[in-house]
Structure 1
Amino acid sequence: MLKRIPHTYTIISSVILICAVLSWIIPAGEYVRQTIEVNGVPRTVIVDHSFHSVPQAPQTWQVFSSLLNGFERQAGIIAFLLIMGGAFQIMNSSRAIDAGIFSFLGFTKGLERYRFIKMLGVNNVVIGLIITLFSLFGAVFGMSEETLAFVIILVPLAISMGYDSITGLCMVYVAAHIGFSGAVLNPFTIGIAQGLSDLPLFSGFEYRMFCWVILTGVLIVCVLKYASVIKKHPEKSPMYHADAYWRKRGEGVSEEISYATTRSAYVVYALVLVALTFFSLYYPQSTFSLGESAVTCYAVPFLSALFALFAGLGLRKSNHFFILTLLAFTILFLIVGVMAHGWYLPEISAIFLAMGVLSGFANSEHPDAIIKQFLDGAKDMLSAALVVALAGGIIQILQDGRIIDPILHSLASLMGETGKFVSLGTMYFIQTLINLIIPSGSAKAALTMPIMAPFSDVIGLSRQATVMAYQFGDGFTNMITPTSAVLMGALGIARIPYQVWVRWFWRILVFFMLLGLLLLIPTVVFTLNGF
């Protein structure tokens, strides 16, 4: 019988204490940093051979202030979680998502009349397509924080399909971060790392695309294998009892929902059309950058016109389908905003908050009822917010204790005079370890690439190979490190305890890390385009 794993708060608090102890043991040190422009964006990077000792800064009482410091450090993601929880609670109160899931399941059953799809399994096709889509988002524009908005949709969908919350989380969060690991055009990792390494932007595209296909394919196989077991034996899920929350919420959906269209929904429809008219004037054109090429189109006006059509059709059916149309186009506008206009948490939270409030009014809710629903949803996210704050406290202790740079310097010294294979593997190992304490891909690129890139020249290793070692090392451990605010937020939304996730996911993580090491070998052995 397995020993009981400590509570998530206990684990993270223990890590904070360990980091505080290390600040007494590890000699403090720092690198000199300078600001340079990388692809037109200012980045702070390390100056070569600038590491030096600084006065020790042991952390004591600071462990108790780390929670507040973590709140301040991760304020954006914490506020985003609370807003998302509130917005979706308003939408959930209308039963629109439940109605949409029920309608979707009915549609998928109809696909069974096609022999090929029936042979593959409708649910298998759905899971495979969703994983591919989110993996592509991670590979192309670095979807990470944005996945939090989709976890709250796809976890209930997975439960309704007969799976568990872990399957739902894999379909969106894990898929996006596998894509993030096999980044093809991700500007936040590959773009910065190649810029700091003086490489052509997004060069080596072909082999990275091959790696992305392999990684995504393997993830689909892993998830489908696990999902098939849970479908046949639901009690084998480590979340079987905890998922009762989601199962209870979906009980009797088809019988309880009363389909009708209210006058208030038409009023909201008119107001949204007016808002989208001004929105289209503000964003008349959108430029999507893919590598060194760019495509400009009238994305916002086009989507606004489509919304007018589909929302009108939704109103003819019921409030629920109008609200679902609001949700669908919120997601489409989010994609356009992120990829073409540089949207981040403020814009994304604003558009989802607007969606939630409009959903409430479309469902003829009183303003006081909408506020109560929002507060109930935000309250449900409070536990996840505390975990994110604690995770931010870990980084704060490491920084204030001045031991991040000494750890980085010591790891870089491990490479010494080793050969190409060992050096590349060591780089991969170093990036993986650093990612446990610095989960930000762009920050890690700024810290490590000024050291790794020149070293690869000395040993005759391709700088592209060094970038790939960074890429894999940056991506995989994002899905298990307690310092990742996005992971903690996703687990909180899915109601999966961190200790349960670690116990379930660690074998898959080890497999992907070994697969990443194997995919690095061709960068040394073969002559690859762009390498």
Structure 2
Amino acid sequence: MKPQTMQETGLETNQQKKWEMPDTYVILFAVLLMAAAATYIVPAGAFERGIVDQVERVIPGTYAGTEGNPTGFMDLFLALQKGMVQSGGLIFLVLFAGGAFEVVERSGAIKGGILRAVTKTQGKEFWLIAIVSILFALGGAVGAVANSVIPFVAIGLIITRALKLDALVAVSITFGATFAGFNVGFLNPYTVGIAQSIADIPLFSGMALRLIAFAVIVGATILYTWRYAKKVLADPSKSLVGVSIETSSLDDNLESPFTARHKLILSFVGFSLLFFIFATIQFKWTIDHMAAFFIIIGLISGIIAGMNYNQVALTFLEGCQKLVYGALIIGVARAILIVMENASILDTFVHALSIPLEGFPPILATIGMFVSNAILNFLVPSGSGQAMISMPILAPLADMIGITRQVAVQAYQFGDGFTNSIFPTSGPLMASLAVAGVPWIKWAKWMMPLFLIWCVIAVIMLSIGVLINWGPV
């Protein structure tokens, strides 16, 4: 065996000691420790609360000091267990939604539908970019495609190479479009669904303004992508990452059937989601109903796809397994709030935040919420986890500064959604860029103008929400 040299040993040691970004769970546990330490420092206090329109709301001006309850050693770990139990409904919603969408994806219906749209728009570059982007945006908006967009980036590469476009466009029409839809998430159970549940407003209410925001943001994303694509088509040297020439046609690479079964599955899922919106209004369905409904969607989709009972069960469970990481984050985030609530310091933080914001007009205060959530997403790049941390603070804060909780939900959603497309702590972003072979620096340079456009749209939409007193309906 060849002995190692001093240089080789030193290199290995340096590699082992190389710093790496802490995992989201590590960051959340650090926040949990800080929350526990704060129970010994931050004075306890509470607001009085009253029922307004069948919703418990904070009464401004009623904050008063109370007796504290500092967190003990076992209390810290009991909070983790209680966080999982108290978040059970939300955790199983995420898991069951993952299971249902895994069955739909494994049937080939999603891939077949996208590739059929691609073949129908060959030779019409703008419409190809637009239609593929809209399909992925819709997937992001309803939660069907988010982290699972990563393998679809490879399809984007096939499309763009055949069109003599570059990998940036491939990432934009797949990952970028998905998170353009995710930004609004008008029917996304992982973000808007959880946030509205915590804010105690009707599930998937406020749909009309969110649909308008979705159309504007996705439209801006398509136009921005097409503007860059036209430059590359006219002059490949304008590409930021270089153009790889693909000699084969799209037909050679995009052979995937789109059968009657696929059409039936997608139609069934679409109508099921529409029915759920109706049921939340007509029958007052909740998060628990939606979790149960995803079991039905997965089961029937598997039957339509021709899977036997074992295949349906195992595929559904595999989908649940893929989302265990993200689902349990909800429980850890809830543990932080349990520590703060048990020590009666959560209202103290709300009171402290409300003091500077009360001096601002409601629109500026709302923008402050949006910016603070965007910053928080750098540390907690999980939509559901961030909802669990921020919404228990933003909901009473909205009551304090005179804006509706619906506006607060959307301020959280924009703050969480936009930065997923640019922060290097976003796992789906970095994985998608790796598949496409695009350096993060190149993507950030390309994405930053679009990110700023999104922010301007968000400010306008949030301002409209404040001005019209955007409520549950």
CA distance in 2, matches of 1:480, 1:387: 20
TM-score, scaled to structure 1: 0.56
String of CA shifts for 1:409-458, please: whole Å, max 9, x gaps: 12222357x5x66x8635643676489676689866751344323xxxxx
CA distance in 2, matches of 1:54, 1:24: 14
Q: Give the one of 349, 357, 363 matched to 2:299.
A: 357
CA distance in 2, matches of 1:75, 1:481: 28
String of CA shifts for 1:321-370, please: whole Å, max 9, x gaps: 43333333333433443455443433333333223222333344332332
Structure 1 position 29, deviation (Å): 1.1
Q: Is the 8 A contact 1:411 1:430 kept in 2?
A: no
Structure 1 position 25, deviation (Å): 2.0
- Identity %, equivalent residues: 19
CA distance in 2, matches of 1:338, 1:522: 25
What is the total number of aligned residue pairs between the two structures?
393
Q: Give the one of 400, 411, 414 matched to 1:476.
A: 414
Q: Is the 8 A contact 1:30 1:54 kept in 2?
A: yes
Q: Which residue of 2 aligns with 1:59?
A: 71
Q: Give the one of 370, 373, 380 matched to 2:315.
A: 373
Q: Which residue of 2 aligns with 1:16?
A: 32
String of CA shifts for 1:37-96, please: whole Å, max 9, x gaps: x2xxx1112233221112222224333233322322322221122222323333344333
Structure 1 position 170, deviation (Å): 0.9
* 1:32 aligned partner, one-letter code: E
Distance 1:100 1:472, change over 3 A: closer
Determine helix, strand or coil for the equivalent of 2:57.
strand
Q: Matches of residues 106-505 of structure 1 in structure 2 within 5 Å?
A: 106-109=119-122, 112=123, 118=124, 120-127=126-133, 131=137, 147-151=142-146, 159-162=154-157, 163-164=170-171, 166-176=175-185, 254=255, 318-338=260-280, 340-414=282-356, 425=364, 428-429=367-368, 433=372, 447-453=396-402, 470=408, 473-479=411-417
Q: Give the one of 38, 45, 50 matched to 1:29.
A: 45
CA distance in 2, matches of 1:74, 1:358: 27
CA distance in 1, matches of 2:33, 2:277: 40
Q: Is the 8 A contact 2:184 2:417 kept in 1?
A: no
CA distance in 1, matches of 2:211, 2:306: 48
Determine helix, strand or coil for the equivalent of 1:34.
strand
Q: Is the 8 A contact 2:149 2:175 kept in 1?
A: no
* 1:127 aligned partner, one-letter code: S
Structure 1 position 406, deviation (Å): 0.8
CA distance in 1, matches of 2:108, 2:98: 15
Distance 1:433 1:95, change over 3 A: closer
Determine helix, strand or coil for the equivalent of 1:57.
coil
Q: Is the 8 A contact 1:428 1:472 kept in 2?
A: no
CA distance in 1, matches of 2:264, 2:212: 40
Distance 1:334 1:99, change over 3 A: same
Structure 1 position 516, deviation (Å): 5.6
Q: Is the 8 A contact 1:91 1:97 kept in 2?
A: yes
Determine helix, strand or coil for the equivalent of 2:144.
helix
Structure 1 position 468, deviation (Å): 9.9
CA distance in 2, matches of 1:507, 1:17: 38
Q: Is the 8 A contact 1:123 1:161 kept in 2?
A: no
Q: Is the 8 A contact 2:28 2:333 kept in 1?
A: yes
CA distance in 2, matches of 1:4, 1:383: 19
CA distance in 1, matches of 2:186, 2:448: 15
CA distance in 1, matches of 2:407, 2:396: 14
* 1:447 aligned partner, one-letter code: P
* 2:133 aligned partner, one-letter code: I
Distance 1:506 1:83, change over 3 A: farther
String of CA shifts for 1:464-503, please: whole Å, max 9, x gaps: xx98985764443343899xxxxxxx97899889xx9xx9
Q: Say whether residues 1:83 and 2:96 are aligned partners.
A: yes
Q: Say whether residues 1:73 and 2:86 are aligned partners.
A: yes
* 1:9 aligned partner, one-letter code: Y
Unaligned segments of structure 1, at least 5 residues:
113-117, 136-142, 194-200, 237-250, 260-316, 454-462, 483-489
Distance 1:371 1:521, change over 3 A: closer
CA distance in 2, matches of 1:225, 1:530: 36
Q: Say whether residues 1:46 and 2:58 are aligned partners.
A: yes
